[in-house]
Every structure is written in C-alpha cells, then in structure tokens.
C-alpha cells in the first residue's frame, strides 16, 4: 500500500500528458506547486500506443539533440525520469518525431 507523507498544498496530486514534437511544449501550461517532485514516463513497447522516437526534456529552449547548451535529457520509449521540481510548467519536451507522448505525475 502506498503512503504519501507530504503532498502539494492542495492535498492532491496532479497528472497529465504532453505531446512532444519539433517545437518544445511545456508539460502543462498551468503553474503547479509540488512538494516531492514530478515523475515523467514515455510509453514503451508494452503500452497500448508506444512512442516511436526519443523525447528530450529540458527548459523552454530545449532541443532534440546533444547540443551542449540546449540539448535535452533523452528519454527513449519506455523510460522514466523523476525531477525534484515544484512547477511542471517549467519543464519542456521536444522530439524529432511529432506526436510523442509524455505522461507526468506530480505530488
């Protein structure tokens, strides 16, 4: 059984999906306030609709490459990443292929 010891100020977690493509998109357009952070997951081979390409995670200027200044953290299909951040609207995703899904959950 899961036990949540600290939660966001509204005493509930939030979740959503972002669609990554050539233009960086925020996980959510609305500011959030999380205590424990944000969990990201890209659908993989075992999911109903798996991603077909890598999703890159970073700030608003993130690019889908290994550029030293703008290249994002690569998340291949089926990957999970935990970020110790409060605001999901400050996290952006992009990909070389359109329509790549990123599920997120914050507490």
Boundaries of domain holding 83: 14-106
Contacts (Cβ under 8 Å, ≥6 apart) of 29: 89
Q: Does residue 29 sit within a domain?
A: yes
Q: Does residue 6 sit within a domain?
A: no
Torsion over CA of 34, 105, 37 and 83, rounded to 10 degrees? -140
CATH number for the domain spanning 33: value is 2.60.120
Full-prediction pTM beyond 0.85? yes
Number of domains present in the structure of the chain = 1
Q: Does residue 64 sit within a domain?
A: yes
Q: Does residue 4 sit within a domain?
A: no
Q: Does residue 8 sit within a domain?
A: no
Q: Does residue 38 sit within a domain?
A: yes
pLDDT band at 2 (very low <50, low <70, confident <90, very high): very low
Q: Per residue in 87-106, pLDDT tens?
A: 999 999 999 999 999 999 99
Strands 80-83 and 38-41: antiparallel
Q: Per residue in 26-71, pLDDT tens?
A: 999 999 999 989 999 999 999 999 999 999 999 999 999 999 999 9
């Amino acid at each position: 059984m899961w036990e949540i010891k600290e939660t966001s100020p509204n005493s509930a977690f939030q979740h959503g999906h972002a669609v990554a493509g050539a233009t960086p998109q925020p996980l959510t357009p609305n500011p959030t306030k999380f205590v424990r952070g944000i969990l990201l997951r890209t659908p993989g081979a075992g999911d109903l609709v798996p991603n077909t390409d890598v999703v890159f995670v970073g700030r608003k200027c993130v690019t889908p490459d290994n550029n030293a200044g703008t290249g994002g953290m690569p998340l291949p299909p089926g990957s999970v990443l935990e970020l110790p951040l409060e605001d999901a609207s400050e996290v952006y995703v992009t990909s070389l292929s359109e329509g790549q899904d990123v599920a997120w959950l914050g507490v």
